[in-house]
A and B are shown apart, each in its own frame.
Chain A
Amino acid sequence: MIQDKQWLLSVGVFLPLAGVLVMLFIPKKDEASAKGVAIITAALTLVVGVYTLLQFDYDQSEKLQFFTTNNWIKPIKATYTVGLDGISLPLYILSMVITLLVMIYSWDHVPSPGNAKAFFILMLVLQTGMAGTFVAQDLILFFVFFEVVLLPMYFMIGVWGGDNRQYASLKFFLYTMFGSALMLVAFIALFINTGSVSFSIPYLIEHGSSIAKNTAIWIFAGMFIGFAVKVPMFPFHTWLPDAHTQAPTQGSVILAAILLKLGTYGFVRIALPILPQAAVKWAPAIGVLAVVGIIYGSLGCLAQTDMKRLIAFSSVAHMGFVMLGISTLTPLGINAALFGMVAHGLITGMLFFVAGSVKERYHTLEIKRLSGMLLQMPRMGWILGFCAMASLGLPGLAGFWGEFPAILASWSPSSVLVANGHETLFRVLTIIAALGTVLAAGYLLWLYQRTAFGEPTAEFATAGHDSHGHDSHGSDSHGSDDHGSEDHHSDIHDVSTFEWIAWTPLLVAIVVFGVVPSLMFKIMDPAVQQLTSVFGGK
């Protein structure tokens, strides 16, 4: 553990809250100042993040850096312990980048019913929760940050979401709450079974093996459900399509890019290293559920008629690849999983951005009503195509490096798993997962073909004069025909400036990480090697 610049992570985590404090004093009507302060805060946070990147010692990325530990809740021996290693660094930075970009996008895209101040405050609170989860090195601290995310997202979906927002937000909330209740009980059980000494993750990693195997398996089960709900893994995924479809664009992007990763990160950071024997027992089950998720998610995509819902189901499939990588317990698999998390964050986040902008222009996401996007909005059409390619795992783009190595790794799982006679199972999983990539190509290309190619459908063919305003909230755009006057701006226009500012970094990152994946692999690998050493390496 490297204990220099102990203040750095705390500043990075809590700076957004300082912005919230300032924003509380801005009157509700002064939306521009509220937005400005929020974006400046997010930008400053990212500056802290970049400084963290510069100060990070890449030669020792397996060690926790900027490590600090302080008393927090003495009576229960919970401490304020934060630290950053190669596993958490990419996700920590990703959360800062995504928050800033989402805020820039929101400058002229505050969803109905408005109230920019509250909306931006929620995003800043979310940012603290997400960044905090990635640096927390104490189970109680982790739990608190994990939960901090819950309420802002609930309100984001429930207040600014689509027509069915109340149902979706409640479902999101209750599912997650259920998962975290079990997770908390598992954490307490961990604490007590290691002699009630500390909740610190490094300490528990050292002493986790002293827990009796049967107990460990049960504790792992508790954590498994908590994290699996968040990921979400089949069969705990049903909240996701609803939440994603109903959430405002910003909510969907943050949900897809960061929140889902809290679950997979929990597996890699907490469940695997603390309870390795239980992980070996559970790995086959995780692998099977992951592959079921891949196939189920892909088939689900093929059945969707709504573009956003389709992207949501594709998340289930992609997170399946991530979980498959984790379940192999090999360095290759876990590296792939970590890469896949970031790649999925970039790509699916971008897809949700595009979906949001399409919805804003056409007031519908029904695939059969969208057509000829390339003719009407060539740039938007190309971006959608690019993201679809990235999402289906085209080599040369970031998505490839999450999927392909995961599939490869499952062909030769960790030696512990082989010793337990699971090799055949994993090889079967490899084949099915590989089929999943074909399905992925299928649904994404089909989506692209139906929405971007051809001529615009009749109802939008004359677009350019027929509607206005950003306030239409329903999915029904038929009524907009009566705004026929010439002086109204067209809703259907190509990518706007704010959209370009928000999207370019993501698009660039997708290419850069696709071409030079080692940028990330070399940060993560030492930490992953250390993590998997208990499983006998490859």
Chain B
Amino acid sequence: MFAFSSPIIDYHALAPELVLAAGICTVLLVDLFVPDSRRWITGTLSGFFMLAALLPVVTLAVLGDDVRSALSGEGITGRYVVDNFALVMKALFLLSGYVVVLLSTNEMEEGGYYQGEFYVMLLSSVLGMVMMASSRDLVSIFVALEFLSIPAYMMAAWKKRDRKSNEAGVKYYLLGVFASAVMLYGMSLLFGIAGSTRLSDIGEAITLDGDKIGVQVVGIVFVIVGFAFKVSAVPFHTWAPDTYEGAPTPVTAFLSVASKAAGFVALVVLIFIAFPLAYDVYRPFLWVMAALTMTVGNVVALKQTNIVRMLAYSSVSQGGFILMPLAVAFTNGNQGASLRAVMVYLIIYAATNLGAFAVVIAVSRKTRSGEISSFGGLFQYAPGLTVMMTIFLASLAGIPPLGGWYAKFGAFRAAVDAGGGWGYGIAVIAAVNAVIATAYYITVMREMWMKPVPDGDTTPIKVPASLQAALAICGVATLAFGVLPGLIAEVGSITDLAGAFNP
């Protein structure tokens, strides 16, 4: 039945992955042969490879084929595809990866960490994410997920002699592996029902009728739970704050943006291709999860005194807003709006959150503290950073004309589009949460603008060039997406993962 015939490989479609793979090998080799004092080269090289991998993404987008199957052949076509959704997400992962490289450069060099290995891990993790964007098959999804997670476990524990960092890594690892196990079990059930690991086949088989409803439901729920861990949705979020706080800050930025986005990509692909007919199962499940995620994340964030923990819980709560359109997808024909909402949210959230972390890194270089109170009086000695942080926080809070408002708008619209109790219910919960969230973002603004400097030390902060570049990228993106959201109009034309339905 599965006679093997070797697939026809579309090298252009696979080019981003190949460039990254080449990057991993190059950085590994270069690291062996450069003296310690010049290890920074590995960081520069990694950034270069991220951008280089972006090139084929651009050319593929310019070619504008609706969908290409990177591997094709009997029984293989449609398992690893390049469609517009995949391209947009790949670009997001690569750019986020590049910004994380910029954030890490000084941190890694000055902190005395292993540099070469770090960047290899980072590149590997990004490669996993890029693969995730194209995967339309349970096996490739799982491989991509492990590929992006395992380096991340190690990166979280990169501060070798710091107990908190070790705790971060171990917690993340244990819960991550547990989630993988649950998910794998769910996947095996899905395979049992559909007789195929290709998502489009599963989509036809999961219809919630016949005599195997129970197995179908368990399979769906287990798979979703697995990814709920990845996107730190409540109640599967408990690892996130500890991991975020303990990990080196650039890694935290990476986890809270890119790794979370990868989880959402997998959820989107599963819901849109594998479970479109099973909304009776995933809708109540995701609905409750979305409501809990935004509310719990928010309420706990309110009482944080550590800026990284605060941003960690804020990112949990933002995850709830991204879950909202997914929860009500395929209601009233709003799947197009839902898909767009998720993508737009991920893009804007990435720019904004990375920017916020960039400021945190810049400020803590001077204050050596992660407490919110260490931001006191920042306006007096670092007005530029203060304005940037204000922009990022206001964007996270969803205040126009900064990017975040459009992201929230899209999510609201998808929910209201769905209509009915499900749609309006979650929209109201989200509206209340949007207001609660402003309270803790405002706390930080108040600290920066209105409080005195805690230790009276008002020497200006020197922001290294790489951090400046990261701040500029994120700041421009946050502003531009807010004033002219049409810039992500290309995303707007994507209405469905159409290609994947008809391999």
A residues within 8 Å of B by Cβ? 28, 71-76, 118, 140, 143-144, 147-148, 150-151, 154-155, 158-159, 165-166, 169-170, 173-174, 177-178, 181-182, 184-185, 188-189, 192
Contact = CB atoms under 8 A, between A and B. Distances in A.
Interface string B396-411: 0101110001100110
B450 A165 contact: yes
Interface in B35-51: none
B30 interface: no
A177 B435 contact: yes
Given A72-B484, A185-B412, A147 B405 contact: yes
Contacts, number: 91
Contact of B400 (A75, A147, A166, A182): A147
Contacts of A158: 446, 449-450
8 contacts: A72-B486, A74-B486, A75-B493, A148-B401, A158-B450, A159-B379, A159-B450, A192-B417
A189 B434 contact: no
B410 A147 contact: no
Nearest to B419: A192
A89 to B, nearest CB: 25
A73 B445 CA distance: 29
Given A74-B486, A147-B401, A170-B442, 14 more contacts: A28-B383, A74-B489, A75-B340, A75-B492, A76-B409, A147-B399, A147-B405, A148-B401, A154-B445, A169-B446, A174-B439, A178-B435, A181-B434, A192-B419
Contact of B442 (A28, A71, A143, A173): A173
A169 B394 CA distance: 15
Nearest to A73: B485
A174 B449 CA distance: 17
B406 A143 contact: no
B104 interface: no
B417 A166 contact: no
A500 B94 CA distance: 60
Given A159-B450, A185-B431, A189-B416, A151 B406 contact: no
A188 B412 contact: yes
B411 to A, nearest CB: 11
A185 B486 contact: no
B427 interface: yes
B447 to A, nearest CB: 10
Contacts of B237: none
A184 B417 contact: no
Contacts of B383: 28, 118
Given A72-B484, A72-B486, A151-B390, A185 B438 contact: no
Contact of A75 (B405, B438, B489): B489
Interface in B436-456: 438-439, 442, 445-446, 449-450
Nearest to B344: A75
Interface centre among A74, A150, A151, A182 (most CB of B within 10 A): A151
Contacts of B442: 154, 170, 173-174
Nearest to B490: A75
A150 B390 CA distance: 13
Contacts of A73: 406, 484-486, 489
A188 B412 CA distance: 8
Contacts of B397: 177
A182 B431 contact: yes
A170 B397 CA distance: 14
A71 B486 CA distance: 9
B340 A150 contact: no
Contacts of B419: 192
Contacts of B399: 147, 150-151, 177
Which 8 residue pairs of A and B lie closest in terms of their CB atoms, listed nearest first?
Answer: A75-B492, A144-B400, A147-B400, A181-B431, A73-B485, A178-B435, A158-B450, A188-B416
A538 B412 CA distance: 40
B428 to A, nearest CB: 8
Interface in B337-383: 340, 379, 383
Given A170-B446, A174-B438, A177-B435, A188 B400 contact: no
